[in-house]
A and B are shown apart, each in its own frame.
Chain A
Amino acid sequence: MALIVEVVDSRGGSVKERVRLDGGSLNVGRGYDNDLILDDLYVDARHARIDVNADGSVEIEDLGSINGLVALDTPGRVPRVIARPGTQVRIGRTILRFRDPSEPVPPALQERTKPAGISRLFDNGGLRAAAFIAALTMATAYTWFGSYERDSGSTAVAVAVVFVLFAVMWAGIWAVASRIVINRFNFTSHLAAVAVVAIPVMLFTSIDAWATFLFPDNPLWVPFGMVVWSGLFMLSIALHLSLSSTMDRLRRWRAAVMTTGAFALMMGLLAYAGRDAFTDVPEFQGVIKPFSGQMLPAIDVSGFSDVLAELKEEADELATDR
């Protein structure tokens, strides 16, 4: 049975070369007179020989090299190894992996001719610019309506500049990554991706403030908010990955979920570590909105006793914890 030998870089794991063993012998080494020349400083000029015997069996033999022949499933150096499909040996820092030619390979990936969904946005320069301008306008307007100084205009302009700087920096990092991985910069597409995420972030900030104002004691809002923030973070990672890698959709989202999970875990650990830290500064929801009609969910003054009772329970617990 003929085998294929793959030359694998032991550090990167990538296949450098594949050679079909049809019969006879194959000399392996760093010297230029070999049949399989390895660019590896830990390999001898004539390091090993692969023999295909008359019965079709394949054998690799050490030719007295300095670093020898190592079979990956047995410890230490060995003089020779009978190779079968799946056998891996190491010479120097190179791995030789033997494969069966009849081994099946997965079907080819279908080439996308037209971008689908939100990716269409990134292929159109006008839409990319429109998305970015929309996000910038929103950030500026939010600042203006959220400030109350006489020179709020200059504050809004300053925030717009900071937004642009941040977006350029973030998109720039992703663009460099794209250049390394897929050989394309995609800078303006990454900039549009920033905008695509920034718009729902700003919208949800507003929704969050209103919901906190209207339902300050709803216990489900905080976890819901965390889910939304995590979703937006994931969307950001998945969008940038779609522009800077060849990953398919499933892998992109898997990477986004893992990154978000790791980030959330880190934040959770930080919060957990600081949970007992003492401060005499209170934390409370100070957002007030211009709404006071009969529709405003409100309690009676007497109902405020329940708030005190809850706080008392928490404070008593804190006092006895120590």
Chain B
Amino acid sequence: MIRTSAAAMAALLLHSSCAFAQESRTATSGVFQRYAEQIVKIEVVETGSAARVSVGTGFFVDSNGTVVTNYHVISEYVHDPERHRIELIGADGSTPLSVRAVDVVHDLAVLRSELRPARHFTLAPVAVAQGERLYSLGHPNDLGLSIVEGTFNGHLQHTLYPKIHFTGSINPGMSGGPTISEDGRVVGINVATSGEQVSFLVPVENAIALVQLESAPDYQPPDSMLHEIGRQITEYQAVYLDGMFDDGAKTVELGPYRAVTEPAPFFRCWGYSTRERELPYERASHRCATDDYLFIAGNQRSGTVQMTHQLLTTASLSRSRFYALYSAVFSEDNTPIGVEEHVTKWRCGTRNVRNQSTPVRAVLCLRRYRKLDALYDAVLKVAVLGGSDTGLVSTLSLSGVTHESIDTLTQRYLERITWR
């Protein structure tokens, strides 16, 4: 009896799962057929070599030929418009695109073509339930328009600006494409992936805001997009750098020292330590960083804040040998990478600094963005002096910030590192 029931149950499950798969395939195929023509491929071409430097996806949002995509798809053009052009690749060949508006913080751009599409997406706020099935469209690795099924998994908790967690495989080339519900409502814009079906979308609300700005009757595209990007980054950092490391800052006790930690809810902190038998010292690290970053161009990222405290202790090294170790750890380079086209070389200055109670060795390194006015990357390294078998090396890394912010934050950071 039991066996019969179990067999019947299995047959039922198999039947329903087959039916579900069949239904899902039909739904996906239907979505693709209904919306494929509203999605376009976008290429940035270097005029000198007539070769593509970037391929992405975009989609029509009105009948005037307005296309939404990611800023990072067209960033090469924005940084060097003399040497590049943007093309929309459709079924009927290529059409030039112009940049109307960018939002570097949310990684969005609004472009305009001469085409008058018969059908387009209509952007509107959308409510989606956790687990709802979504469809991401784009040109993965330039292999032709593809559709990827996935599920909505809510907004990320640790980001300064909201991002949608989409469980589906977004690949390079799909950037800028829409992720939609079965009935064609745009939920987000494909922006990033961290592999293994963990992908991220820019919420549609940000795209709506940018399209509304661009379609206002008195709107004029900025004379200098780079200037506009610089302005947006400065505005962005003002939001979260304002109260950072101030008097109410959270601190952590590391050995005999106290230092700041988790400066804001959108920071994530981890700890790890090295205790290997063959090493005559221990090294414990406490690291906090923002998940968000701003895409500048190429390999250049910006807008991140990172801090690392490294506690060194030894039971067997003499004072002199411990300070050799301390110097070596302090000399390690953990500055962000830089590309000559975008940033200058580092310039560093070293001083011995005394806050109320603690003498420290402090190194500040600074470099400037070449094309973004008045923005800098800064790395502050601090080593607390005076211990004979313990030491703390602390590094604060700020990218894409103004010199005024660097001044305020380095002062506050130096004040907050003390002996307990």
- Using a CB–CB cutoff of 8 Å, the interface residues on chain A facing chain B are 144-152, 213-214, 216-217, 278-292, 296-305, 307-308, 310-312, 314-316, 318-319, 322
Contacts and interface: CB of A to CB of B under 8 A. Distances in A.
- Grouping DSSP codes into helix (H, G, I), strand (E, B) and loop, the A interface class, with mixed when no group exceeds half, is loop
30 contacts: A145-B321, A148-B280, A148-B314, A148-B321, A149-B278, A149-B279, A280-B339, A281-B346, A284-B348, A284-B365, A285-B363, A286-B328, A287-B331, A288-B383, A290-B320, A290-B323, A290-B388, A291-B385, A298-B351, A298-B359, A301-B354, A304-B362, A304-B364, A304-B411, A308-B366, A314-B366, A315-B344, A315-B367, A318-B345, A318-B368
B83 interface: no
Given A216-B352, A296-B359, A315-B376, A286 B344 contact: no
Contacts, number: 165
Contacts of A301: 353-355, 411, 414-415
Nearest to B330: A286
Nearest to B335: A282
A290 B387 CA distance: 8
A149 B345 CA distance: 33
B324 A148 contact: yes
Contact of A278 (B321, B340, B351, B359): B340
A291 B366 CA distance: 27
Nearest to B408: A305
Going nearest first, the 3 A-B pairs with the smallest beta carbon separation are A286-B331, A282-B346, A292-B386
Given A307-B351, A318-B344, 20 more contacts: A145-B321, A147-B321, A147-B324, A149-B280, A281-B333, A281-B346, A282-B348, A283-B348, A286-B331, A288-B391, A291-B385, A304-B411, A304-B414, A308-B366, A308-B410, A311-B365, A315-B344, A315-B376, A318-B367, A322-B370
A319 B322 CA distance: 39
A291 B319 CA distance: 11
* Most interface-central of B325, B349, B381, B415 (chain A CB within 10 A): B349
A217 B362 CA distance: 12
Contacts of A289: 323
Nearest to A287: B327
B368 A217 contact: no
Nearest to B360: A298
A282 B325 CA distance: 20
B121 interface: no
B406 interface: yes
B324 A281 contact: no
B338 interface: yes
B321 A281 contact: no
Contact of B364 (A148, A279, A297, A311): A311
B318 A145 contact: yes
* Most interface-central of A281, A282, A283 (chain B CB within 10 A): A282
A145 B323 CA distance: 9
Contacts of B369: 319
- Grouping DSSP codes into helix (H, G, I), strand (E, B) and loop, the B interface class, with mixed when no group exceeds half, is mixed
A304 B366 contact: no
Interface string B395-420: 00000000100110011001100000
B359 A304 contact: no
A280 B414 contact: no
Given A148-B321, A290-B323, A301-B414, A315 B370 contact: no
A209 to B, nearest CB: 9
A319 B346 CA distance: 11
* Most interface-central of B281, B321, B347 (chain A CB within 10 A): B347
A29 B353 CA distance: 85
A146 to B, nearest CB: 5
A284 B346 CA distance: 10
Given A289-B323, A316-B368, A299 B351 contact: yes
Contact of A148 (B328, B349, B361): B328
A148 B325 contact: yes
A302 B354 CA distance: 10
A176 B381 CA distance: 51
A151 B323 CA distance: 17
Nearest to A307: B349
B317 interface: yes
Nearest to A215: B352
A149 B278 CA distance: 8
A217 B386 CA distance: 21
A216 B343 CA distance: 26
B335 A281 contact: yes
Given A300-B354, A319-B370, A308 B323 contact: no
Given A145-B320, A284-B363, A312-B376, A318 B411 contact: no
B77 interface: no
B152 interface: no
Contacts of A290: 319-320, 322-323, 388
A141 B370 CA distance: 47
B216 interface: no
Contact of A217 (B340, B349, B370, B385): B349
A304 B361 contact: no
A290 B386 CA distance: 6
A145 B321 CA distance: 5
A4 B336 CA distance: 79
Interface string B279-293: 111000000000000
A292 B359 contact: yes
Nearest to B366: A311
Nearest to B406: A308
B328 A296 contact: no
B134 to A, nearest CB: 39
Contact of B343 (A150, A280, A285, A291): A280
A145 B376 CA distance: 39
